[in-house]
Amino acid sequence: MAELNPFKIAQAQLDEATEILGYDKGTRDLLRWPKRELVVHIPVRMDSGEVKVFEAYRVQYNDALGPTKGGLRFHPAETVDTVRALAAWMTWKTAVVDIPLGGGKGGVVCNPKEMSEGELERLARAYMRAVGHFIGPDVDVPAPDVYTTPQIMAWMADEYAVMRGYNVPGVITGKPIPVGGSLGRHDATARGGIFCVREAAVALGIDPKTATYAVQGFGNAGQYGATLYQEILGGGKLIAASDSRGGVISKAGMDPAKLVEHKLSTGKVENFGGTEPISNEDLLELDVDILFPSALENAITDKNAAKVKAKIICELANGPTTPEADKILQEKGCFVIPDFLANAGGVTVSYFEQVQNNMNFYWTIEEVYERLDKKMTDAFHAVYEMHKAKKVNMRVAAYLVAVSRVAEAMKLRGWV
């Protein structure tokens, strides 16, 4: 369906902000499109001996504020429009947390669940050979995303070092700690979201210690969101959680740490003790205080938004809410912490990793968490104050904060 094209959604969200900001056509057009795109076709020899060709992308959306930055997905449903949208959202994400980076994104059309470790390594290295001339620590810095891991980042960083003839740790972030990764990166996306929930709860007069919450998408971000909620906010009750195979619900509440253990040992949340099954669709409509959409795009649409009952929606996923759904949620009084604010903790600690790589000096985990807390808290309040001043929803407010920063840099550079 055309209305669910993620890039058209990203453009529609941007258009609303630039209309409010009153920008001229040239500025609007430059903000609406990626600055550079690369499409490559990568041959990889599979374990069977067959050579398979994979289509892959790297999009550098806007670098007015600094080198582009963004994850790399391995996903069978990847498209260039998905990558464009994610690169756009990365541009606003780095701007809203006020770090000197632009937005980029990459993707490879593949199904990593059907590939061996050796095949994944050959694909990762082949991708780096294909795009290595297009990226670099001062140009564009990839990072992990859906179905890519620190190990995959290590293979790519090593391949880039082979191409250059020397180590360049800052070319990739999300690396394992022994090869230049940052402490605190593993849970940064969820941790940043929980910091935002903490601030939102104060603003709305909700006690997070007694609040109920549900997590749709129990991958990395969702798992850490579930556990860090209780660790950082000192309470709360996890009512339901789901993954791509199904979900579980318990009105009495679940132990997040034990549910994570169950997921890691069985590969799914289903059949967790003391729970009943629930679908992803029904989970989104539960009467909980806080909902964490943590899976893929377009989970909340005009078809189900009217049934969403959560008071706070913290979007740990990218693009889980369509523009039509946004309007419905606003009318219902739902407080949405938009994706490129809520999940900006990941890119913030990735930026910290770049800084540490450049200094060749590494911080303690306490220093990382303290700096992340400050960045996320400052970003939340910049957006919240804009939300109150302009009387717009939080997503539009986040766009106003981010887009105005990017546009100012574009103007100062003489682009527009």
The beta strand positions in 244-342, using DSSP E, are 246-254, 276-278, 290-293, 312-314, 335-337
Tell me whether residue 7 is in a domain.
Answer: no
B/e letters for 270-288, b = 16+ CB within 10 Å, e = fewer, are: bebeebeebebeebbbbeb
Q: What pLDDT, in 10s, does the model give residues 361-379?
A: 999 999 999 999 999 999 9
Q: What mean pLDDT comes out for the span 60-67?
A: 98
- pLDDT confidence bin for 145, thresholds 50/70/90: confident
Tell me whether residue 274 is in a domain.
Answer: yes
Contacts of residue 49, defined as CB under 8 A and 6 or more positions apart, other chains included, come to none
Q: Hey, what are 349's tokens?
A: 């600690």
- pLDDT confidence bin for 1, thresholds 50/70/90: very low
Tell me whether residue 23 is in a domain.
Answer: no
* Count of domains forming the chain: 2
Same domain assignment for residues 288 and 392: yes
Q: How far apart are CA 209 and CA 50, in angstroms?
A: 55
Same domain assignment for residues 209 and 233: yes
Same domain assignment for residues 98 and 208: no
Q: What pLDDT, in 10s, does the model give residues 304-321?
A: 999 999 999 999 998 899
Q: What pLDDT, in 10s, does the model give residues 323-332?
A: 889 999 999 9
Spatial CA neighbour of 383 closest among 339, 348, 352, 350: 339
In the predicted structure, residue 338 carries a pLDDT above the cut 50: yes
Same domain assignment for residues 273 and 320: yes
Q: How far apart are CA 153 and CA 68, in angstroms?
A: 17
pLDDT the model gives residue 360: 96
Tell me whether residue 226 is in a domain.
Answer: yes
Radius of gyration of the chain (CA): 20
End-to-end CA distance of the chain: 34
Same domain assignment for residues 171 and 248: no
Q: What pLDDT, in 10s, does the model give residues 220-272?
A: 899 999 999 999 999 999 999 999 889 999 999 999 999 999 999 999 999 89
Q: What pLDDT, in 10s, does the model give residues 153-193?
A: 999 999 999 999 999 999 999 999 999 999 999 899 999 99
- pLDDT confidence bin for 2, thresholds 50/70/90: very low
Q: Which domain holds residue 151?
A: 36-179
In the predicted structure, residue 117 carries a pLDDT above the cut 90: yes
Residues annotated as catalytic (active site), given as ranges: 105
Q: Hey, what are 11's tokens?
A: 């453009």
DSSP single-letter state for residue 136? B
pLDDT the model gives residue 157: 97
Q: How far apart are CA 66 and CA 62, in angstroms?
A: 9
Same domain assignment for residues 164 and 223: no
CATH of the domain at 281: 3.40.50.720
Report which residue type is found at 218: F
Same domain assignment for residues 89 and 116: yes
DSSP single-letter state for residue 323? H
Same domain assignment for residues 212 and 167: no
Tell me whether residue 13 is in a domain.
Answer: no
**Where a domain ends, among 179, 209, 228?**
179
Q: Hey, what are 266's tokens?
A: 């069985």
Contact 187, 228 (CB under 8 A): yes
Same domain assignment for residues 61 and 201: no
Same domain assignment for residues 62 and 136: yes
Same domain assignment for residues 65 and 142: yes
Q: What is the mean pLDDT of the chain?
A: 95
Q: What pLDDT, in 10s, does the model give residues 21-55?
A: 999 999 999 999 999 999 999 999 999 999 999 99
* Secondary structure of residue 173 in the 3-state scheme: coil
- pLDDT confidence bin for 276, thresholds 50/70/90: very high
Same domain assignment for residues 211 and 275: yes
